Structure 1
Amino acid sequence: MSETRLAPLTAAADWPGITGADGTRWHYLDTGATAQKPQAVIDAVTRAIGVDYATVHRGVYTRSAEMTLAFEAARRKVAGLIGANEGEIVFTRGATEAINLVAQTWGLANLKAGDRVLLSTLEHHSNIVPWQLLRERTGIEIDVCPLTADGRIDLDAAERILTPAHKLVAFGHVSNVLGSVLDAPRAVALAHGVGAKILIDGCQAVPRLALDMKALDVDFYVFSGHKLYGPTGIGALYAKADILDAMPPWQGGGAMIDRVTFERTTFAPAPQRFEAGTPAIVEAIGLGVAVDYVQAIGLPAIHAHETALVRTTREALRSFNAVRLFGPEDAAGIVSFTLEGVHPHDLGTILDEEGVAIRAGHHCAQPLMDHLGVPATARASFGIYSDESDVAALVRGIERTLRIFG
């Protein structure tokens, strides 16, 4: 195997979920599902929910004001990470809620029967089901863009499919199964070329790719904090300021209002208009610290590191005749495969006995599984804490599995 090391990117002590007190290592290869948390994030969450805790945007006392500043600082950090303005960042529970928010606000206000939405074959269920629910309410039509032979969204096909009837394109930036990376600038240009808006699901992109919303000119961009080494229950919707300002509120309650009477309510400006109720204060602060952590390492370094691990893994797996690999050679942080004669769930169970954690299943992408002609795949996904020892452990586990099923 090629030489691949994390140092000096990060220290083992930063990852208590991976390195045990006795120094043993858990070979965690399920970062695509959720990332482990660095000690800095754990410490920040502990402080925020403990000695620093108070509500935000409401109290006139000092600690509340300080927590409000920390909460809004997290919004600025998220905006800075993706090249946006803080007023264009709406905190959500995650990418799923962000897509539903767009569907149920912008979608209901702007789409009607006969309008068309273009998705792709590789989309996560979270970027399929909200549009199907909107179809049931409005009568819109959904088209599906096929994939290239190596598992990328086929933008040549998208160009042929798109018409002025298409009002929205919704694509994943990095496939959570194949690791294939969308040519996002071209996708944006194609959508805008027919007058459509475009939403990009960035869950697998934000933890590893440098982004600039202004340069990209995307209309909507969503991601989840827990895949970015932050807490669960927090994510973000980016939307262009003029689009966000024109969108009606989604949920009603405290914090998103200007003035309430029984006769009429007026609403706060964006992004507060979309953050009804007490927000995920602790989670947002933890996400802000995760952003700091990632930026201190540098996204180009993270991407290069994970790319090397993907290359090493694919080379190693190709030595097994029983392995079928999916996705492109330059996949971003993810390797999906099947083992002939072994269900991915069985492989996952045996690997677990070897101290290796992978994802096995349809990965919330059943239409893609149908396209690949398999019920499920095994997926190894990498993070900034992954190293060559994880790949070696995966290979040993596969060798043991083949002996058991041989």
Structure 2
Amino acid sequence: MSSQPTTSRNRLHYAWVVAGVTFLILLASAGVRSTPGVLIVPVEREFGWSRATISLAISVNLMLYGFIGPFAAALMGGLGLRRTVVISLSVVATGVMLTTLMTAPWQLVLLWGVVVGGGTGMTALVLGATVVNRWFAHRRGLVLGVLTASSATGQLVFLPLLAWIVQEEGWRSAVYLVAGVAILIIPLAAFLLRDWPSDVGLRPFGAEGEEERAPVVTNPLAEALGALRVGFRSRDFWLLAGSFFVCGASTNGLVGTHLIPACVDQGIPEVRAAGLLAAMGLFDLLGTTVSGWLSDRWDNRKLLCCYYALRGLSLIYLPFALGGASWGLTAFAIFYGLDWIATVPPTVRLTADAFGKARAGVMFGWVMAAHQLGAAAASFGAGSVRAWMGDYEKAFLTSGALCLITAAMVLQIGRTARRPTTSDSKDVEPEAALPHALPQGEPA
């Protein structure tokens, strides 16, 4: 029997199986991460804890979700995708279940903030970026768009159901549901995930030559910190991380966490508000998938500029929609939803072009950490604004203005062909001359 990797035009490439399992993993993770939005009001009512106190726990969750990412990406290089995912889902399910027993604010911060935040961080978007760069030579943008959209799909599937369960059965029943979903996904990951195409005798989907493999990671901590040192010396890294900081502040931390409470403040029922977020998830599923397709073909900087500008205008409009006619919130859900996480495929593509596909997962992990740092800041900041001023108007307007500034900033990514000059440069591939590489995209 030949030892060469086999290809078959008559069989489904196993890359699509891995992508499908990854979609379900990210879907379950999204269900867990969407839960705090429907828990804020009932937990506030039951325990009497302030909105700012509850927002602190969510902020810790969001921050750890991001900062675990680069270490998880490095861990995937040594421990493997499958083992990393199984450990992550087990930690998440345990932390979520124990939340039902909490009686003090510090327990909420420890369980939902530290345990659940750290666990979901191991199955964050860095998992999607790692899978795409390992298993696909073509259609990377499209596949990453679909995987990114799993976050929106999770929101679409879980939020209305969770809101209904909270209303009818109490918040603990909703928590049991998301923990159960995480437990159900564990066997799928254990039996179907594979680390590399060569593990099943294949090349990456669409590849013509030999499979490109990253060096085996013996020390994930050193690998992640080494990549960060190189990133600190790169202008593009700061632009990518800064733009994604604003992305997190204007999505997960603000709208994902506080839109339902903001609607309740205006007399809009929780179930209807959750339906609004679910509708955003439906439109985001479309928007992010199309964004992935476009990122294979158009200049990714210009795509990001359009996305941030439209998001900024939507957020500036939101306070007026909350206080106006019902169609205003519907219009917001459509335009904001199309844009929610459409920024991810172009950002991953720019990161891979700047630092090389072999290290794209770890470098994007640090960019994602900035995203979640922004989300954490916005989650706590918006909760504090609500506690001090009685509404969210200033939080929405400030976030919108930051998005407009970021729309101009992202156009500067890749404007220099300067390569990193550091002893750590062996840890990553040299920066590409992005202005020449990006507009054409990869062949589909």
Greater strand share, structure number: 1
Greater helix share, structure number: 2
TM-score (norm 1): 0.27
TM-score (norm 2): 0.25
- Ranked by relative contact order (alpha carbons within 8 Å, sequence separation 6 or more), the top structure is 2
The higher radius of gyration belongs to 1
